[in-house]
């Protein structure tokens, strides 16, 4: 596995991260199989999330992009978040959702939610985009996302709604739906859901 670091990531940080990446790759392979096995890791801070000092993007089936802020203060928290990012993006590779592929809002929501549940449950991540409100509130948001058309405001719904102050609505709705699917079906695992369509996951959620 090739690893291409940003110049600003110091050698000491690289010496810490490199063996972890190989370790995480082995863990993901055991969970998802060869369907999530990038050949190259590229660091690019275009996808950096300030709250965690990390981020990621599944560029294609062979390239996984990670973000890493070398000035982030809490190193232990950041490395845990980096692991979660690696797991999240590997899950997208397993799903086959790669690059800049544009999806309908509800489909994007469910696929992001599944990847979020995977990073939370398998990498012990604590993604703020996976923390949601009451079931009643989430059902209302699920109905709203279900009714969005192709011309919806993507950044508003996926990242930040200035009017309500709510962040990561698509992520949170999808995470809620996936949590419900797993709760309603004890025989299902998050690994099994990587091969399910978003419509099948919604059916399993019984929403």
Q: What is the DSSP-derived secondary structure letter of residue 45?
A: G
Q: What per-residue confidence (pLDDT) applies to 34?
A: 84
Q: What is the pLDDT along the chain (207 residues), one digit of tens a residue?
A: 999 999 999 999 999 999 999 999 999 999 999 888 899 999 999 999 999 999 999 999 999 999 999 999 999 999 999 999 999 999 999 999 999 898 999 999 999 999 999 999 999 999 999 999 999 999 999 999 999 999 999 999 999 999 999 999 999 999 999 999 999 999 999 999 999 999 999 999 999
User: Could you give the angle at which helices 135-146 and 105-122 cross, rounded to 10 degrees?
Assistant: 140
Instruction: Indicate the helix (H) or strand (E) that contains 183.
Output: helix 169-184
Closest CA to 174 of 128, 111, 124: 111
Contacts of 167 (CB under 8 A, 6+ apart): 128, 129, 159, 160, 161
Alpha-carbon gap, residue 81 to 65, rounded angstroms: 14
Longest dimension (CA), the chain: 50
> CA-CA distance, 44 to 75, in Å (whole number)?
18
pLDDT at residue 12, as a whole number: 97
DSSP assignment string, 103-167: --HHHHHHHHHHHHHHHHHHS----GGG----HHHHHHHHHHHHT--TTS-HHHHHTB-TTT--B
Round to whole Å and give the CA distance between 90 and 85.
8
Return the pLDDT at 37. 84
pLDDT score of 102: 87
d(CA 102, CA 121): 27
Q: pLDDT value at position 161?
A: 95
CA distance 150 to 25: 35
Round to whole Å and give the CA distance between 1 and 37.
9
What is the C-alpha separation between 76 and 177, in angstroms, rounded?
A: 30
């Amino acid at each position: 596995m090739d690893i291409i670091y940003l110049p600003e990531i110091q050698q000491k940080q690289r010496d810490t991260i490199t063996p972890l990446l190989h370790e995480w790759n082995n863990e993901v392979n055991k969970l998802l199989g060869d369907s999530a096995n990038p050949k190259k890791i590229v660091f690019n801070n275009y996808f950096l999330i300030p709250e965690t000092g990390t981020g990621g993007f599944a560029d294609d089936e062979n390239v996984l992009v990670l973000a890493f802020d070398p000035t982030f203060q809490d190193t232990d928290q950041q490395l845990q978040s980096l692991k979660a990012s690696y797991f999240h993006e590997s899950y997208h590779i397993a799903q086959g959702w790669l690059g800049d592929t544009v999806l309908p809002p509800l489909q994007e929501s469910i696929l992001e939610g599944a990847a979020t549940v995977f990073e939370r449950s398998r990498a012990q991540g604590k993604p703020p985009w996976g923390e949601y409100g009451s079931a009643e509130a989430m059902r209302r948001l699920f109905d709203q996302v279900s009714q969005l058309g192709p011309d919806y405001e993507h950044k508003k719904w996926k990242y930040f709604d200035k009017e309500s102050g709510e962040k990561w609505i698509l992520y949170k709705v999808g995470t809620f739906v996936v949590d419900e699917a797993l709760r309603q079906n004890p025989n299902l695992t998050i690994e099994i859901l990587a091969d399910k369509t978003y419509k099948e996951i919604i059916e399993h959620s019984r929403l």
